[in-house]
């Protein structure tokens, strides 16, 4: 047991130090996990231990396709919400028609990837943590290992690959849904026709705007998978541990997503 010092300042300092070390340790674990799963994806087929295609597609279905309705609803609402706010703001300058540009840029560069990331963190990140955590508690992970099946290859690589494909796809879908939301509201409020809206959107957007969002969504996919999976693997203490890990992974991945979003947005717009 660590010796407790009597001085509160020392105690606080020690606590800060310990949590910093823990955070760095965890970051190291994410990186190691990433490298190992990429190793299996790339080198697996050559040593006759491939990542199962079937499993990747199954995960893409549950993580991606099944999330489409909720992504559509949320993104559409965000599109409408943005249009309302921007029309209200732009009215002061009498420039309501500029709403199209505002919505197009906000959605593709920021809101599409962010809302998708947050949604997938809550939906898939938690389910990854819960699934792997439960497997850990039930000794299923041990069982895989003693059968000579590497848990990272079997569980993490397919999830990572599926996420890195599906989160950008969902983000693009979210962009479209958001723009549609904007178009519908703008059409009702200031009577802009749908065709005109599309035309103006296309002329306002350049490929780089959409790409920036998609690139960020790829980073989000990595964050969600690694945080979810590593929290799952580190579960101890039965069902309660699984619950804790699930909560922790959602909170952590949403926090990391928002922070990463800020950092990447800054550097991508230098």
Name the 3-class secondary structure at 95.
coil
Residue from the set 43, 53, 61, 143 that interacts with another protein by CB under 8 A: 143
| By CB under 8 A, residue 138 contacts another protein | yes
Q: How far is the CB of 118 from another protein (least distance, A)?
A: 26
| By CB under 8 A, residue 94 contacts another protein | no
Under 8 Å between Cβ of 247 and 232: no
Contact region with another protein (CB under 8 A), list: 81-89, 132-140, 234-242, 258-266: 132-140
Residue from the set 8, 9, 93, 146 that interacts with another protein by CB under 8 A: 146
Contact region with another protein (CB under 8 A), list: 103-111, 129-137, 177-185, 190-198: 129-137
Q: Which of 173, 64, 163 lies closest to 108 in space, CA to CA?
A: 173
Q: How far is the CB of 130 from another protein (least distance, A)?
A: 12
| By CB under 8 A, residue 207 contacts another protein | no
Both tokens of 122, joined, read 């809550």
Interatomic CA distance for residues 33 and 128, integer angstroms: 14
Contact region with another protein (CB under 8 A), list: 71-79, 115-123, 135-143, 236-244: 135-143
For residues 72-93, one letter each, b for 16 or more C-beta atoms within 10 angstroms of the residue's C-beta and e for the rest, the string is bebbbebbbbbbeebbeebeee
Interatomic CA distance for residues 236 and 254, integer angstroms: 23
| By CB under 8 A, residue 22 contacts another protein | no
Helix (H) or strand (E) holding 79: helix 68-91
Both tokens of 173, joined, read 């879908």
Residue from the set 149, 206, 211, 262 that interacts with another protein by CB under 8 A: 149
Interatomic CA distance for residues 133 and 229, integer angstroms: 8
Q: How far is the CB of 48 from another protein (least distance, A)?
A: 9
Residue 160 vs 219, nearer CB to another protein: 160
Interatomic CA distance for residues 123 and 26, integer angstroms: 22
Q: How far is the CB of 138 from another protein (least distance, A)?
A: 6
Residue 9 vs 47, nearer CB to another protein: 47
Contact region with another protein (CB under 8 A), list: 20-28, 144-152, 174-182, 212-220: 144-152
Q: Which of 17, 123, 11 lies closest to 71 in space, CA to CA?
A: 123
Residue from the set 14, 26, 110, 140 that interacts with another protein by CB under 8 A: 140
| By CB under 8 A, residue 199 contacts another protein | no
Under 8 Å between Cβ of 183 and 197: yes
Interatomic CA distance for residues 157 and 163, integer angstroms: 10
User: Which residues contact another protein (rule: CB under 8 A)?
Assistant: 131, 134-135, 138-140, 142-149
């Amino acid at each position: 047991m660590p010796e407790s010092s009597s001085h509160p300042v020392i105690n606080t300092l020690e606590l800060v130090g310990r949590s910093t070390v823990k955070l760095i340790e965890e970051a190291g674990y994410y990186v190691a996990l990433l490298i190992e799963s990429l190793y299996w994806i790339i080198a697996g087929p050559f040593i006759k231990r491939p990542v199962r295609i079937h499993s990747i597609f199954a995960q893409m279905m549950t993580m991606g396709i099944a999330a489409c309705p909720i992504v559509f609803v949320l993104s559409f609402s965000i599109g409408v919400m943005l249009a309302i706010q921007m029309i209200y703001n732009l009215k002061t300058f009498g420039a309501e028609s500029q709403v199209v540009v505002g919505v197009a840029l906000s959605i593709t560069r920021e809101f599409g990837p962010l809302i998708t990331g947050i949604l997938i963190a809550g939906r898939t990140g938690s389910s990854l943590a819960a699934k792997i955590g439960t497997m850990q508690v039930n000794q299923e992970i041990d069982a895989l290992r003693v059968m000579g099946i590497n848990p990272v290859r079997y569980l993490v690589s397919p999830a990572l690959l599926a996420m890195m494909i599906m989160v950008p796809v969902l983000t693009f879908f979210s962009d479209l849904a958001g723009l549609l939301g904007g178009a519908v509201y703008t059409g009702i409020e200031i009577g802009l026709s749908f065709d005109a809206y599309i035309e103006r959107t296309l002329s306002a957007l350049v490929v780089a705007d959409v790409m920036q969002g998609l690139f960020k969504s790829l980073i989000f996919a990595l964050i969600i998978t690694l945080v979810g999976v590593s929290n799952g693997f580190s579960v101890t203490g039965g069902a309660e541990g699984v619950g804790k890990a699930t909560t922790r992974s959602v909170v952590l991945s949403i926090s990391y997503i928002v922070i990463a979003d800020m950092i990447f947005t800054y550097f991508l717009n230098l």
